[in-house]
Structures are given as structure tokens and as C-alpha cells.
Amino acid sequence: SAVISQKPSRDICQRGTSLTIQCQVDSQVTMMFWYRQQPGQSLTLIATANQGSEATYESGFVIDKFPISRPNLTFSTLTVSNMSPEDSSIYLCSVEPRTGGTEAFFGQGTRLTVV
């Protein structure tokens, strides 16, 4: 298994500002994933973060809006830039501790409200 610490757990932000969410894992992992869950909706993948290379973004998500860093094998950040109320969501990071189709684990999530 993996223990994932995600910070902050919640925040209320003014529109036009940016928020950086941190995800720390207790073991080295190859892939880290960032998901968004809009109110009342399911989880949607934003991007896949590989160490040492640019993140891979899903359709509808762009680097300018959601820049991601992955400086090492245990840490990643997601920034939500120039926020609007439509960005109010839960943001979750996820890891798969080992390759080969094994179990994925999630951080506790960041509940973001933009006012």
C-alpha cells in the first residue's frame, strides 16, 4: 500500500488567484495522477505526472491552467491558476505503488471553494 499526504485539505480562495496543492508519498512511485471532482460528479483525470518529464494532460485540461511539478519520485504539486468559481471542486492525487496493474491509492483530497 501507500500513504499519501495531500495539503491543504481545504481552502477558500478569491477569484483570480492561484492555489498550489501538494502531494507527498511515503515511497517512490513512477506515476502520480491528479483528478478533479466537480460538485456532485465523478472523478475526471487532469494529468499524469512523470518524474523528469512534462506532465501529460487529458483533453480539456491545459498546462497554463493546471501546471504540475514532479521534482522527485515521492512528491508532486498541482497549481490551479487564475481561479474562477467553476474551479470549485475536490482535487485528488493518486499513485500506483508498483507497475503491473496493481491497486491505486488516493490522497485525502483538497476541497477548493472559489468565491
Partner 1 sequence: GIQVEQSPPDLILQEGANSTLRCNFSDSVNNLQWFHQNPWGQLINLFYIPSGTKQNGRLSATTVATERYSLLYISSSQTTDSGVYFCAVNNRGSTLGRLYFGRGTQLTVWP
100 binds partner 1 (CB under 8 A): yes
Q: Which stretch binds partner 1 (CB under 8 A): 13-21, 62-70, 73-81, 99-107?
A: 99-107
Cβ burial 77-108 (10 Å sphere, 16+ → b, else e): bbebbebeeebbbbbbbbbbbeeeeeeebbbe
Q: Reduced to 3 DSSP states, what percent helix, strand and coil does the chain have, rounded to the nearest 5?
A: 5, 50, 50
CB of 37 to partner 1, least distance (A): 7
Report how far residue 69's alpha carbon sits from residue 16's, in angstroms, rounded to the nearest whole number: 21
If binding is defined by CB under 8 A, does position 113 make contact with partner 1?
Answer: no
Residue numbers 27-86 binding partner 1 by CB under 8 A: 31, 33, 37, 41-45, 48, 56
Can residue 95 be called a binding residue for partner 1 (CB under 8 A)?
A: yes
By the rule CB under 8 A, 11 interacts with partner 1 = no
* CB-nearer residue toward partner 1: 77 or 109: 109
